[in-house]
Structure 1
Amino acid sequence: MSTSEPTVNPRFAEALRQLGLEVEVRGFSEATRTAAEAAAAVGCELSAIVKSLIFEADGAPVLVLLDGASRVDVERVREVLGAEKVKRADAALVRETTGYAIGGVPPFGHRNRTRVIADRGLLEHPVVWAAAGTPHTVFALEPKSVVAHAGATLADVRESAA
């Protein structure tokens, strides 16, 4: 159930203002913290959801943007970065790096600037939906715009289909 006036996360609202972006932030009474929850709330394909995932590469945080139906291939991320070791970040590092809790991390507007990799699969949709700073808010944008505003490098980092 969509709410009429969502509470927009102040950090995300400021990021939108600084980027000159005008997007509609949609709020929901039910959680949208997982890709499946977000897709069900919005009424879109799971692959049209942007997952914003923080990894740790040789001790440094890295943001990976991926479609909601896919999983990250950590070895591919390691190769793209030229890192020795890549692992999923814990909740504390996610919040420290982005300023947001897991389940509400948007693709841009983070507390700290980090390296960003976007999987090319995101470009397969005319519009994608991403978290807007809380586990109950999302926004829609063209995927090329998401990639550009996030300062992402495009790469193939999703697991191959079996």
Structure 2
Amino acid sequence: MSALDHPGIRKVAAALSEAGHHEAANGIRVLADAVRTAAAAAEAVGVPVGAIANSLVFAAVQDGVASPLLVLTSGAHRADTGKLAVLAGADSIERATPAFVREHTGQVIGGVSPVGHPAPIMTFVDVALERYEVVWAAAGHPHAVYPTTYAGLLDLTGGTPAEVARSEVAR
């Protein structure tokens, strides 16, 4: 079985194709090693870390009820949960458990794609990704990525452009 035959990757490829993003679907790359971090993904595909679209799933909590929130952020910085709470109209933004991520995306942490989820998820797309001609996103498996654009991410996810980064990233 080819790595492209993995169910998670097939689902993402189908979602990309169904959305008319055939170049992205055909550009899925299966890498030798897992790329669970933006730095690893950037190194594997030979791009700046900022050109990696991290798919971060959070639990947006409102009145005690947690809903999934997908944030596609540049790999060059971290998401600000305070900003996200305001943007999402939530009481708080919590770190999602692996089970919560899998339940709402059908994918595992480290391989969460912007697409291919069981149901639409509220999504914010980091405006910092706009400065890159090509951005790379996970393709439903920790070993798989695909090329797209900032506009492509907005189109694919129905996401809202947003400033999601912390003002200063601690290193």
Q: TM-score, normalised by structure 2?
A: 0.88
Cα pair 1:6 1:28 within 8 Å, conserved: no
Of 21, 31, 35, which residue of structure 1 is paired with 2:34? 31
Q: How does 1:9-158 map to 2 (within 5 A)?
A: 9-22=9-22, 23=24, 24-58=27-61, 59-158=66-165
User: Could you tell me whether the CA contact under 8 Å between 1:56 and 1:62 is conserved in 2?
Assistant: yes
- Unpaired runs of 5+ residues, structure 2, are none
Which one has the bigger helix percentage? 2
Q: What is the aligned residue count?
A: 158
- Whether the 8 Å contact between 1:62 and 1:116 is mirrored in structure 2 is yes
Asked whether the equivalents of residues 16 and 156 of structure 2 are also in contact (C-alpha less than 8 Å), the reply is no
Q: Percent identity?
A: 40
Give deviations 1:105-136, integer Å, cap 9, x for gaps. 11122122111011111111111001111111
8 Å Cα contact 2:101-2:109 kept in structure 1 = yes
